[in-house]
A and B are shown apart, each in its own frame.
Chain A
């Protein structure tokens, strides 16, 4: 299984929307609705922001939304705020009880 492909960086001004992509294959993102997105601040543990492609855990603002098309998943952050500046990682179930992570995207709020 290969890592999921994410752009290394993304950016936007406060108030704008930014979308981060996560490309996999038919065997992982394309086949399973088990895509998650994690936010990680420097020196901290990741925090799940999205699970099962589109669902938000309790406490995650509705500014965070996600979708999937074919073998690519997307995370959209709307109404960008300074606190959204962080690294974002996608993950997917890869079958055979394995999990795959993306390489991560550094989101910068300009």
Chain B
């Protein structure tokens, strides 16, 4: 059964780069033509879409984060990653990775458990 697992530092200093990885277990990230996405949730607040990536490497970003964001995929390691530069306290959130359907407009049907990242000195 396919599972997603987020990993990375739980604490990031302001102005540094927030980096997270989502490892796909129980299946190949490139065997099915899915989009793979990142969604975050600040403490006590709602969901915010960050972006997604296709196994081929084509990525789409939230306009509000685009200038600081890079999402990449490593099919050899069956994982995809997020890098958010110039982190501030407003980037403090639980970060979820998730699988969407075969196009960018399809829902996220499989989610990781989430990973809390705190931006603080």
Question: Chain A interface (Cβ within 8 Å of chain B)?
Answer: 1, 3, 32, 34, 36, 38, 40, 44-48, 51, 57, 89, 91, 93, 96-104
Q: 3 smallest A-B Cβ distances: which pairs?
A: A93-B105, A45-B111, A97-B60
**What 0/1 readout, one digit per residue, does chain B (47-61) give for beta carbons within 8 Å of chain A?**
111001000000010
1/0 contact trace for B89-121 toward A, CB 8 Å? 000000010100000111111011110000000
Determine whether the beta carbon of A46 is less than 8 Å from that of B111. Answer: yes
**Assembly CA distance A89 to B108 (angstroms):** 12
A55 — nearest CB in chain B belongs to which residue? B107
Evaluate contact between A45 and B112: CB separation under 8 angstroms.
yes
Q: Would you call the interface of chain B mostly helix, strand, loop, or mixed? A: loop
Q: Are B47 and A93 in contact (CB under 8 A)?
A: no
Cβ contact of A98, chosen from B63, B108, B111, cutoff 8 A: B63
B39 CB contacts on chain A under 8 angstroms: 46, 101
Binding site for A on B (CB under 8 A): 37, 39, 46-49, 52, 60, 62-63, 96, 98, 104-109, 111-114
Task: Judge whether B63 and A1 touch: CB under 8 Å.
Answer: yes
Q: Which residue of A lies closest to B113 (CB)?
A: A45
B108 touches A46 (CB 8 A): yes
Q: A48 touching B60 by the CB < 8 A rule?
A: no
Q: State A36–B98 Cα separation when bound (angstroms).
A: 14
| Chain B residues within 8 Å of A48, by CB | 107-109
A2 and B109 alpha carbons, distance in the complex (Å): 23
Inter-subunit contact A102/B46 (CB<8 Å): yes
A1-B63, A57-B109 are known contacts. Are A97 and B46 too (CB-CB below 8 A)? no
| 5 sample A-B contacts, Cβ–Cβ < 8 Å, listed by A number | A96-B60, A98-B63, A98-B104, A100-B49, A101-B49
Contact B62 A98 (CB under 8 A): yes
* Cross-chain contact of B104 among A36, A47, A91, A93 (Cβ < 8 A): A93
- Cross-chain contact A91 with B49 (CB below 8 angstroms): yes
Other A-B pairs beyond A36-B108, A96-B60, A101-B39, 6, CB < 8 Å: A34-B106, A44-B113, A46-B111, A89-B47, A91-B49, A104-B47
- Residues on the B chain within 8 Å of A97, using CB: 52, 60, 104
Contact B49 A51, beta carbon cutoff 8 Å: no
